Amino acid sequence: MKDYQIYLLDLDGVVYRGDHLLPGAREFVAWLEATGKTYRYISNNSMQSPTDVAERLRRLGMPAPDERVVTASQAAVDHLAKEQPGQRVWVVGLPPLRRMAARAGLRVLNLARSDAPDDPAAGPETARTVLVGLHRSVTYEDLRLATRAVLAGATLLGVNRDPQLPVEDGVDPGCGAILAALEVASRAHASIIGKPAPTILTDTLDALHADRSRAVMIGDALEMDIAAGHAAGIDTILVLSGLTSPERAAAADPRPTLVLRDLADVLAQAKAGAE
């Protein structure tokens, strides 16, 4: 295994499953800390801030400074604020996403309520971008106003395109389900920040001034983590501790750089590569 200097780690299925750490997770991150490697936790979460995710990791006993957590929601607002500072934005999402966008310096037109403009004179038709995250209480009015914004010329930007959200008793509709409804209604195609799009990875690596030849994405999902890593032009490690079976891994095209059992296996290989 190459002596990587930058590790991008997916969370669910790699570091933890539910409220339990997966084998090798704590030891692997402790080794990254001890050896001075750069690492970031990469989450496709479209509802929580990096602080929220870091707190969950700390409760599980993981080293998790806030600045080492990158969520798709924060990545989306940061990307938008960098590309279009101060832009007028209509947000389809829960209050944390609207507040994140406002803190990033964007002019959120519906900060107080998702389904009504704060200022009647600055309705959705005045927005330049519609930002879409997961919204568990989305209404027809939310979809109607966002559609009007896109039809009036706003671009459509999705935090992620996850069709489903895994929950304890099964799956619920994900951010991608809401985004798909808006794409159909507006006949627009959304840009995406989260995985499998590469933007969340490339923006993270750019912020680190990273040499991409020494960076690796570690994930458990071929269609999400590994696809994003390939699109970002970096090496990938698929771990079999989550979504992907050994049979699917063997048939993957394109193939991950490495396929390993879990983070305990990654740690063993990384130690050997660093010698």
**Complete domains list, the chain, with CATH:** 6-44+195-274 (3.40.50.1000), 74-192 (3.40.50.1000)
Regarding pTM above 0.75, the answer is yes
Active site residue 12: yes
State the pLDDT at residue 95: 93
Q: If DSSP codes are grouped into helix, strand and coil, which group holds residue 120?
A: coil
- The DSSP bridge pattern shows strands 20-21 and 16-17 to be antiparallel
Long-range contacts of 173-177 (CB under 8 A, 24+ apart): 174/134, 175/46, 175/132, 175/133, 175/134
- The DSSP bridge pattern shows strands 69-71 and 38-43 to be parallel
- Direct distance between the N- and C-terminal alpha carbons of the chain, in angstroms, rounded to an integer: 11
pLDDT in tens, 216-268: 999 999 999 999 999 999 999 999 998 899 999 999 988 999 999 999 999 99
Q: Which among 3, 12, 206, 211 is annotated as catalytic? A: 12
Percent of the chain with pLDDT over 70: 99
State the pLDDT at residue 273: 75
Q: Which among 10, 78, 220, 225 is annotated as catalytic? A: 10
pLDDT in tens, 47-85: 888 998 999 999 999 987 788 999 999 999 999 999 999
Between CA 125 and CA 147 the distance in angstroms is 9
Tokens of 34: 């001890």
Active site residue 169: no
Q: Dihedral sign, CA of 55, 21, 225, 92?
A: negative
State the pLDDT at residue 47: 82
More confident position, 167 or 233? 233
Q: Are the beta carbons of 60 and 21 closer than 8 angstroms?
A: yes
